[in-house]
Amino acid sequence: MSDKICKPKFLTGEIAKAAILTALDAIYGNRLGSILKPKREQLHVGVLVPGMKDDRPDYPDWPNYQIKPVVLYEYTLGDPDNFPHPFVDIARCKGLQLWHDRNDDRTEIIPHLLFPGDTPFWGGVKRHGIVVYCSGIQPWLDKLVSGMVADLLVALAYDAWMKSADKADNKLCFLT
């Protein structure tokens, strides 16, 4: 049996990094930055994707293949030692709550689903099976960054698929 965790083929750490940096460039850029005015240049953003134990060649556990969250990429803007609040931990907690559907991508928390130790802050998204979490600026901007990253991830993954050898091989029954 393998202990390898299988992740989506067309969502890579490199793609996630590109999506995060592109979103931050937009938020902090001259045009949007002057309108939105992020309150600080300190934040933490990350991406969770579905993963599973990769035992499929023999299917020893068929059909019991549990999906679990896998951190694809995280990025911290600024020095966490100088953050006024624990933005890394808050962002990660937002991500966990989104993954478990205890925060449903609204602009407010869901009190009846909060567990002890959860964060009461909002500002992340769960879209298309991907969770993007962010903390450090205004919650609506945390959510905006997260939404931009999620949509960029889908577009970049689709672009990678369209350019892949797997897509080009019309007779392929399973991805390589």
Q: What was the pLDDT predicted at 20?
A: 98
As a whole number, the mean pLDDT across the chain is 91
Does the residue 172 lie in any domain? no
Q: What was the pLDDT predicted at 1?
A: 42
Does the residue 69 lie in any domain? yes
3-class secondary-structure state, position 161: helix
Does the residue 100 lie in any domain? yes
Domain range for 72 is: 5-163
Does the residue 60 lie in any domain? yes
Does the residue 114 lie in any domain? yes
CATH of residue 79's domain is 3.30.450.150
pLDDT in tens, 71-113: 999 999 999 999 999 999 999 999 999 999 988 777 788 889 9
Does the residue 169 lie in any domain? no
Does the residue 176 lie in any domain? no
Does the residue 56 lie in any domain? yes
pLDDT in tens, 125-176: 999 999 999 999 999 999 999 999 999 999 999 999 999 999 888 888 888 8
- Overall number of domains in the chain: 1
Residues ≥6 apart with Cβ < 8 Å to 80: 44, 87, 88
Nearest alpha carbon to residue 36 among 146, 132, 139: 139
